[in-house]
C-alpha cells in the first residue's frame, strides 16, 4: 500500500509490535487500533466470510495468509487476491462481501468493526482518507491482476513470482503459503500448466525450486523480461 507523503500514519498497516508505543506526529489512533479489533485464530481452509454475507468487519492479517475468491456456477474458482501479514482485506463500501475469504494456512486475523470505522471516518478526515486510499490500492491491485490475465502462461507465472517477491522484502527467495491449485486459480491457468511452467523456468535457470513451496529467484531480470 502506498501512501502520499502528506498522509498521516495509517492506522491499519501499523505493525502490531509498535502499536502501543507513542509515535511522534501520529493522531491518537494508535490505541484505537487496539480497542477496535479482537484477534481471532482461523484454521487452515477455514472460511473467514462468504460471498454475499453482510460485511460487518474488515480484517487485518496478523500472521498466516488468506485468499479471497469467487466460484462460478460450474465450479471454476477464481482467486481475487492473496493477503499476507499486515494486509487489510474485506473492506467493502456496499454492505455485503463481494468475494469469499478463507485461511490458506493457520492464521491470526484482527477483526475491526465496520460500523466503528465508518463512525470514525465521519469524524476524522484522516481515517476517511485512509479508507479511500485502501480501496484505491485494491483497485490498483485488481488492475494489475487484469494485466496479468491477458498474458501467456510463462508471463503470468513470472509476474506472480515477482509480485510475491516484492512482498517479501530483502530476499530473492519466496516462501509460498499457497498450493499450486491456488496459484492456478489466481492466474487463470490449470495446476498442470503452473507446474510445467515452473519446471520450464527452472530449466531456463530463471528460478530454483528446492521444495515445492519455496522458489529461489536466480535471475529476476529474466523474469522481469518475461513480465512484459
Give the angle subtended at the CA of 98 by the CAs of 96 and 104, to the nearest 5°: 115
Told to check if 198 binds DNA by CB under 7 A, we report yes
Among its own copies, DNA, none, partner that 145 touches (CB below 5 to 8 angstroms by kind): its own copies
- Which residue, 64 or 182, is less far from its own copies as judged by CB? 182
How far apart, in Å, are the Cα atoms of 103 and each of 60, 66, 184, 202? Answer: 12, 5, 17, 29
Q: Could you tell me which of 105, 109, 99, 110 has the C-alpha nearest to residue 68?
A: 99
Chosen residue from 209, 224, 225, 228 binding DNA by CB under 7 A = 209
Give the angle subtended at the CA of 141 by the CAs of 56 and 129, to the nearest 5°: 55
Residues 6+ apart with CB under 8 A from 190: 184
- Which residue, 32 or 154, is less far from DNA as judged by CB? 154
Chosen residue from 81, 84, 153, 162 binding DNA by CB under 7 A = 153
Chosen residue from 7, 152, 168, 171 binding DNA by CB under 7 A = 152
Q: Report the chain's C-alpha Rg in angstroms.
A: 19
> Contact, 50 vs 100, CB < 8 A?
yes
Told to check if 67 binds DNA by CB under 7 A, we report no
Chosen residue from 181, 205, 225, 228 binding DNA by CB under 7 A = 181
> Contact, 183 vs 67, CB < 8 A?
no
User: Footprint of its own copies on this chain (CB under 8 A)?
Assistant: 2, 4, 70, 72-74, 76, 78, 80, 92-95, 98-99, 122, 125, 128-129, 131-133, 135-136, 138-140, 142-143, 145-147, 149-151, 188, 228
| Minimal distance, residue 164 CB to its own copies, in Å | 18
Chosen residue from 188, 204, 208, 218 binding DNA by CB under 7 A = 188
Chosen residue from 78, 85, 124, 193 binding DNA by CB under 7 A = 193
Q: Could you tell me which of 68, 10, 59 has the C-alpha nearest to residue 39?
A: 59
Amino acid at each position: 500500500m502506498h501512501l502520499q507523503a502528506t498522509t498521516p500514519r495509517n492506522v491499519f498497516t501499523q505493525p502490531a509490535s509498535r502499536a502501543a508505543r507513542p509515535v511522534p506526529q501520529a493522531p491518537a489512533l494508535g490505541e484505537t487500533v487496539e480497542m477496535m479489533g479482537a484477534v481471532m485464530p482461523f484454521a487452515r481452509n477455514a472460511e473467514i466470510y462468504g460471498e454475499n454475507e453482510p460485511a460487518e468487519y474488515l480484517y487485518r492479517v496478523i500472521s498466516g495468509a488468506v485468499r479471497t475468491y469467487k466460484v462460478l456456477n460450474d465450479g471454476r474458482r477464481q482467486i481475487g487476491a492473496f493477503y499476507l501479514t499486515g494486509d487489510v482485506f474485506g473492506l467493502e463500501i456496499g454492505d455485503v462481501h463481494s468475494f469469499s475469504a478463507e485461511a490458506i494456512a493457520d492464521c491470526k486475523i484482527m477483526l475491526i468493526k465496520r460500523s466503528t470505522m465508518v463512525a470514525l471516518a465521519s469524524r476524522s478526515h484522516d481515517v476517511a482518507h485512509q479508507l479511500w486510499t485502501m480501496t484505491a490500492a485494491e483497485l490498483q491491485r485488481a488492475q494489475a491482476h487484469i494485466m496479468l490475465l491477458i498474458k501467456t502462461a510463462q508471463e503470468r507465472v513470472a509476474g506472480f513470482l515477482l509480485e510475491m517477491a516484492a512482498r517479501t522484502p530483502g530476499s530473492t527467495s519466496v516462501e509460498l503459503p499457497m498450493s499450486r491449485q491456488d496459484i492456478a486459480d489466481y492466474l487463470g491457468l490449470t495446476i498442470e500448466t503452473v507446474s510445467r511452467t515452473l519446471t520450464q523456468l527452472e530449466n531456463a535457470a530463471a528460478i530454483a525450486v528446492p521444495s515445492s513451496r519455496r522458489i529461489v529467484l536466480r535471475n529476476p531480470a529474466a523474469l522481469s523480461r518475461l513480465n512484459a
